[in-house]
Amino acid sequence: AQTVTQSQPEMSVQEAETVTLSCTYDTSESDYYLFWYKQPPSRQMILVIRQEAYKQQNATENRFSVNFQKAAKSFSLKISDSQLGDAAMYFCALGNSGNTPLVFGKGTRLSVIA
């Protein structure tokens, strides 16, 4: 079975500072993909960043980057220059190459302090 663990139920960060959200996963698949989704108070699920497991290079999308440690099965999200609009629930998710649904972690609620 595939699992995703987010060990930080809540995190906070000062505006303009950097924060890292943790995620670990477990899978027996060799071909898989990892995602971070953001869910603001509006409850819309927004894709933040995506990482293919076969790629060693960490994905980056503007202020968002990941630290993908395949051997440790770790996939943390770093948010740089945090903005008030970054306040949301963040979900880490694991998918494989088939049509099976993503496996989500329980989420981390991020607060941004002005």
Applying CB under 8 A, which residues contact other proteins?
31, 33, 35, 37, 42-45, 47, 50, 52, 91, 93, 95, 97-102, 104-107, 109
* Cβ contact 77:36 at 8 Å: yes
Q: Of 14 and 97, which CB lies nearer to other proteins in the complex structure?
A: 97
CB of residue 16 vs other proteins: minimum separation in angstroms? 27
Residue whose structure tokens are 């477990």: 26
What is the SS3 string spanning 61-113? Answer: ECCEEEEEECCCCEEEEEECCCCHHHCEEEEEEEEECCCCCCEECCCEEEEEE
CB of residue 96 vs other proteins: minimum separation in angstroms? 8
Q: Of 28 and 42, which CB lies nearer to other proteins in the complex structure?
A: 42
- Rounded alpha-carbon distances, angstroms, from residue 65 to 16, 100, 101, 106: 15, 26, 24, 20
CB of residue 93 vs other proteins: minimum separation in angstroms? 8
CB of residue 4 vs other proteins: minimum separation in angstroms? 9
Q: Of 49 and 112, which CB lies nearer to other proteins in the complex structure?
A: 49
